[in-house]
Amino acid sequence: MNKPGFPSASNFIRQIIESDLAASRYRQVVTRFPPEPNGYLHFGHAKSICLNFGLAAEYGGRCHLRFDDTNPTKEEQEYVDAIKAAVRWLGFEWQPHEYYASDYFDRLYQFAEALIEGGHAYVDSQTADEVSANRGTLTEPGRDSPYRNRPAAESLRLLREMRDGKHPDGAHVLRAKIDMRSPNMNLRDPVMYRIRHAHHHRTGEKWCIYPTYDWAHGTSDCIEGVTHSLCTLEFEDHRPLYDWFNERVAEAGFFKPPLSKQIEFARLNLTYLGAALSKRRLIQLVEEKHVTGWDDPRMPTLVGGRRRGYTPGGFRLLAERVGVSKAHQVIDFSVLEDCMRDDLNEIAPRRMAVLDPIKLVIDNYPADKVEHMQLPNHPQKPDWGKREAPLSRELWIERDDFQQQPEKGYFRLFPGNDVRLRFGYVVKCTAMKDGVVHATYYPDSRSGTPGADKYKVKGNIHWVSARHAHAAEVRLYDRLFKVPEPGAERDFLEDLNPASMTTVRAQLEPSLAPAKPEERFQFERHGYFVRDRDGAFNRTVTLRDSWKK
Ligand code: ATP
Ligand code: MG
């Protein structure tokens, strides 16, 4: 059996892990999910979370939550808290393995001094412009810095002065001494530390030098004993550097083999989101108020998806279905929607809701009579029991369940036609007068009573008793962008879907009145809906793919 969230098909990462385990290379599989706390997590992160936590669970290992907080100015506690909530919401737990790259600053600094002493790093005093001018290009080799061969003692002294705040931002950097002529630009003496007199959300004013991603990431993995460090494909060219740093630190005696291993996989890309699936663009949508916030139900953030009614199970299913590969791939947005439908179909009780109401009056039904119909909560799950829905003389029905002049193939209400009120009576439509549909009912046609089957009708419509209805706002959400590749032809903002939200005043069956925020339902014939914190219901997804061409 597969653990939730684990990509069930065999994949290349599993094969690597299994061969490592077969060779007894590691005692236990240790992975990590390493978000930078500079924004809210998006759908892409869900893939990485499911993969890292899923693999660890599958192989009896553990997954760390590591905040990659090496960048002092951007990170905030709000994001840390939101990230933790999102990982838990997806169904994963990391405790007690919660780590912060900033907790390793002391050790990283110690390693850096050891690299200088070993002749593997130097303080470069070129200006930023000189550093980039001397880096070369993809076709031209770089040039050695004039400071490259300064004595180790001098580099050490300068690094300590940098650490002690004696130099302004940009005056010096610490660089690894690798190869300015490497065809891999990442190996052309990459920067390890830069000076930044900036406040850090955890270390405060303690540091004014901060490590780069490349220097901090692999070393943090080794400090934690991570065995398989999974990351997205854009880091493939960084792998030699990842290994180089860890090997040098190991030579200096700080790490023991086996060292952490970086493995790259293709990031999740979705049509209708495209480039918007990145924190930078999401921040823009929020700051420029194209959406109401990070948790706007149209946002591809996990907080947005949650308010939209997307489910943790749906995201785990998505991770399973898209699997992992080394090849760049773009997944059709409908795959995500299908995963949500498939999960919601299993977990969402059924309800009746009229989204575009008109009145139906059953003229031969006594005005003061109320009957309580028994409606199954889930057609395939009898153990979920039934609920009662009151039926009375005046009902709300959908406007498009009536046609004065029926078009060809129309089986619902039109004058002279018989239709079943779902789980209730069969009615004969008589007329439409002053915007109200009139009908008479057959008292012996009540659903579930003996003989009721003798009524053979083709139409079956939902309804809500007008007197008992719970009126509520329903927000009909749709895709945020209207084209499959937002931003491909013009600014991505111009591709926003103007119809991504419409609001209707709906009439709902009374059992929906006490629904709590985040309770999810299928509104029969309409789709899946979730209650929002303001009492409105949000449409999560329609029952069928309405975007299919
Ligand atoms: P963004 O590109 O949105 O700014 P990021 O990669 O900068 O995201 P991080 O916080 O650094 O965001 O990401 C944490 C982890 O999530 C990383 O391991 C990263 O590779 C992974 N990740 C980010 N985006 C995706 C994606 N679209 N698909 C799969 N994994 C992703
Ligand atoms: Mg990043």
Does the CB atom of residue 35 touch ligand 1 within 6 A?
yes
The mean pLDDT of 387-408, rounded to a whole number, is 98
Catalytic member of 3, 14, 36, 394: 36
Active-site residue, 326 included? no
The answer to whether 505 and 471 have CB atoms below 8 angstroms apart is yes
Quick one: pLDDT at residue 403?
98
* Percent of the chain whose predicted confidence (pLDDT) is above 90: 94
Quick one: pLDDT at residue 549?
58
Is pLDDT above 90 for 3? no
Atom 23 of ligand 1 has which residue's CA nearest to it?
Answer: 45
Reference 190, options 202, 198, 182, 200; nearest CA is 182
pLDDT digits (tens, 9 = 90+) for 126-176: 999 999 999 999 999 999 999 999 999 999 999 999 999 999 999 999 999
The answer to whether 270 and 333 have CB atoms below 8 angstroms apart is yes
Active-site residue, 279 included? yes
Does the CB atom of residue 362 touch ligand 1 within 6 A?
no
**HSE toward the beta carbon, residue 451, CA cutoff 13 A:** 4
pLDDT digits (tens, 9 = 90+) for 75-128: 688 999 999 999 999 999 999 999 999 999 999 999 999 999 999 999 999 999
Contacts of 514 (CB under 8 A, 6+ apart): none
Please state the atom number of ligand 1 nearest to the C-alpha of residue 269: 27
313: part of which helix (H) or strand (E)? helix 312-322
Tally of CB atoms within 10 A around 514: 9
Quick one: pLDDT at residue 5?
45
Q: Which band of pLDDT confidence, cut at 50, 70 and 90, is reported for residue 396? A: very high
398/474 Cα distance (integer angstroms) = 14
Question: Which CATH number describes the domain made up of 274-347+471-508+514-548?
Answer: 2.40.240.10
Does the CB atom of residue 486 touch ligand 1 within 6 A?
no
Q: Which ligand is nearest to the CA of 75?
A: 1
Q: Which residue matches tokens 């007068």? A: 433
Does the CB atom of residue 32 touch ligand 1 within 6 A?
no
Quick one: pLDDT at residue 512?
98
What is the rounded radius of gyration, in angstroms, for the C-alpha atoms of the chain?
31
Q: Which residue matches tokens 């959300």? A: 201
* Amino acid identity, position 75: E
Does the CB atom of residue 274 touch ligand 1 within 6 A?
no
The answer to whether 340 and 540 have CB atoms below 8 angstroms apart is yes
Catalytic member of 163, 188, 248, 279: 279
Is pLDDT above 80 for 365? yes
Topology of the domain comprising 12-265: Rossmann fold (3.40.50)
Topology of the domain comprising 353-467: Ribosomal Protein L25; Chain P (2.40.240)
Is pLDDT above 90 for 321? yes
pLDDT digits (tens, 9 = 90+) for 497-547: 999 999 999 999 999 999 999 999 999 999 999 999 999 999 999 998 877
Does the CB atom of residue 46 touch ligand 1 within 6 A?
no
Q: One fold for both 12-265 and 353-467?
A: no
The mean pLDDT of 305-326, rounded to a whole number, is 96
Q: Which residue matches tokens 């918007």? A: 276
Residue-range domain boundaries for the chain: 12-265, 274-347+471-508+514-548, 353-467
Please state the atom number of ligand 1 nearest to the C-alpha of residue 267: 28
Instruction: Tell me what the pLDDT averaged over the chain comes to.
Output: 95
Is pLDDT above 60 for 218? yes
Question: What's the CA-to-centroid distance between 259 and ligand 2, angstroms?
Answer: 22
Please state the atom number of ligand 1 nearest to the C-alpha of residue 230: 18
549/541 Cα distance (integer angstroms) = 17
Sign of the alpha-carbon torsion through 174, 235, 298, 530: negative
Residue 421, strand partner residues = 461
Q: Which ligand is nearest to the CA of 39?
A: 1
Active-site residue, 36 included? yes
Residue to mutate, 33, 40, 48, 53, ligand 1, most ligand atoms under 8 Å from C-beta: 48
Please state the atom number of ligand 1 nearest to the C-alpha of residue 278: 3
What are the angstrom distances between the C-alpha of 337 and each of 87, 408, 522?
20, 32, 14
Structure tokens at 319: 């991770």
Catalytic member of 84, 267, 326, 422: 267
Quick one: pLDDT at residue 76?
83
Residue to mutate, 11, 43, 232, 336, ligand 1, most ligand atoms under 8 Å from C-beta: 232
Determine phi and psi for 10, rounding to 5 degrees.
-60, 140
Q: First-to-last CA distance in the chain?
A: 37
pLDDT digits (tens, 9 = 90+) for 177-192: 999 999 999 999 999 9
Q: Which band of pLDDT confidence, cut at 50, 70 and 90, is reported for residue 73? A: confident
Is pLDDT above 60 for 1? no
